């Protein structure tokens, strides 16, 4: 039996999505898949007639511009990097983007492939859910399971979705999973894009207001400047709200330092291979098991969009804004079509889920998850393209 290249690539995506700790950290699947995406981009862009092919997809073009922006920073980074290791470690932000083209061009092939092996995948999922503490499943892989779920999003499909959410909450008691559930519920019940934008904007406005009120407290992190993260424990003691959840409070301080305190240098980006935060050379002040120099070059702000903004500048966030505007507007305008066509509902829900993960964790800046993010976006972009130019969508 002849094995198709697309099936091999989808099998790699499957393994990577199920357990990236093994298949990325040991076998470097993110790099393999990114290289495959780069080759596919070259093959599909430069055809036999010597003409450059560019699909009529705003998301596709925005991703290409993001790659171009990243290449500029990659060149500049050659002259401002601390070491080659830190440079190549940060470079994953750029080369992982090529997994997008893998998702875009494997969109049609994924349906028959995953359908053939669905019983094995669901059997593993059931086993992994029941033994979650053994590391067979990670909370950030929730988006991947949504991509695999092959059915129209009727009552049974929605019931299955919330069973998955419940299992994840039981296994991890994660705020990320809870917010993911809330976002997907909004996707299901909100009818208009304008309504979704209004409530999202309202939530963001409230957050920014509260964040601004907290800045005078967060500034006290530097009461101990000899600590890499600062004296965050002292900040926790300044107001009862900071003691409610130290993980969230720590993130707020990190976002303050990378967004507010680093302004205006971050408008154009701090670049690749450079420190994200100031550090004392040859000093280790954290309990993370690595020197401060390593942490400041490798760690993200536990919000991928904050990290990308800090490293690549405001233009990168503008491009993300175009991508999400196009994605969300398309989904809400043609929601009935997407929820009743093969697995496109799962494709959109999966991208929403991994976006939530990226908002509170290291995703786009980390090779352990970056490829999955861009692959998921590639599926979304092709689903939109297919409705407009390849199917009977309206």
Question: At 394, is the pLDDT very low, low, confident or very high (cuts 50, 70, 90)?
Answer: very low
Least confident of 14-28, 35-49, 122-136: 122-136
pLDDT digit string, tens, across residues 210-220: 999 999 999 99
* pLDDT of 393 higher than 50: no
Instruction: Name every residue whose Cβ is closer than 8 Å to that of residue 155 and which is 6 or more positions away in sequence.
Output: none
pLDDT digit string, tens, across residues 252-289: 999 999 999 999 999 999 999 999 998 888 888 887 77
| CA separation for the pair 318, 71 (Å, rounded) | 17
pLDDT digit string, tens, across residues 281-318: 888 888 777 888 999 999 989 999 999 999 999 999 99
Q: What are phi and psi of 46, to 5 degrees?
A: -110, 100
Exposure string of 271-303, with b = 16+ CB inside 10 Å and e = fewer, is bbbbebbebeeeebbeeeeebbbbbbbbbbbbb
The alpha carbon torsion through 376, 382, 383, 384 (nearest 10 deg) reads 120
Name the more confident of 284 and 167. Answer: 284
| CA separation for the pair 379, 40 (Å, rounded) | 15
pLDDT for position 27: 87
Q: What is the pTM of this model?
A: 0.91
Mean pLDDT, all residues of the chain: 85
| CA separation for the pair 95, 26 (Å, rounded) | 18
* pLDDT of 1 higher than 60: no
H-type helices in 106-174, by residue range? 107-116, 118-130, 142-148, 155-172
pLDDT for position 209: 95
How many residues are listed for the chain in this entry? Answer: 394
């Amino acid at each position: 039996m002849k094995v198709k290249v697309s099936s091999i690539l989808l099998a790699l995506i499957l393994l990577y999505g199920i357990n990236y700790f093994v298949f990325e950290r040991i076998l470097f699947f993110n790099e393999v898949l990114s290289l495959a995406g780069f080759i596919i981009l070259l093959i599909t862009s430069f055809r036999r007639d010597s003409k450059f092919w560019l699909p009529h997809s705003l998301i596709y073009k925005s991703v290409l511009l993001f790659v171009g922006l990243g290449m500029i920073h990659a060149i500049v980074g050659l002259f401002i990097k601390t070491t080659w290791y830190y440079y190549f470690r940060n470079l994953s932000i750029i080369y992982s983007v090529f997994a997008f083209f893998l998702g875009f061009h494997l969109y049609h092939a994924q349906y028959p492939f995953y359908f053939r092996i669905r019983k094995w995948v669901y059997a593993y999922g059931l086993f992994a859910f029941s033994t979650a503490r053994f590391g067979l499943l990670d909370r950030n892989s929730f988006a991947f399971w949504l991509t695999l779920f092959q059915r129209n999003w009727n009552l049974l499909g929605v019931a299955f979705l919330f069973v998955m959410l419940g299992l994840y909450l039981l296994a991890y008691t994660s705020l990320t999973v809870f917010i993911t559930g809330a976002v997907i519920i909004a996707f299901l019940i909100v009818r208009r894009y304008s309504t979704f934008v209004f409530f999202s904007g309202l939530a963001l406005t409230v957050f920014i207001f509260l964040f601004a009120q907290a800045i005078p407290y967060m500034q006290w992190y530097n009461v101990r400047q000899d600590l890499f993260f600062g004296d965050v424990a002292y900040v926790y003691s300044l107001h009862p709200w900071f003691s409610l959840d130290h993980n969230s409070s720590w993130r707020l301080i990190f976002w303050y330092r990378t967004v507010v305190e680093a302004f205006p240098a971050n408008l154009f980006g701090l670049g690749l291979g450079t420190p994200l935060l100031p550090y004392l050379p040859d000093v280790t002040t954290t309990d993370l098991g690595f020197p401060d120099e390593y942490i400041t070059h490798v760690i993200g702000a536990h919000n991928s969009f904050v990290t990308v903004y800090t490293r690549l500048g405001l233009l990168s966030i503008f491009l993300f804004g175009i991508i999400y505007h196009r994605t969300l507007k398309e989904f809400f305008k043609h929601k009935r079509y997407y929820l009743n066509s093969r697995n496109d509902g799962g494709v959109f829900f999966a991208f929403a889920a991994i976006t939530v993960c990226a908002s509170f964790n290291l995703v786009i800046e980390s090779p352990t998850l970056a490829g999955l993010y861009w692959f998921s976006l590639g599926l979304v972009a092709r689903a939109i393209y297919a409705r407009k130019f390849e199917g009977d969508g309206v």
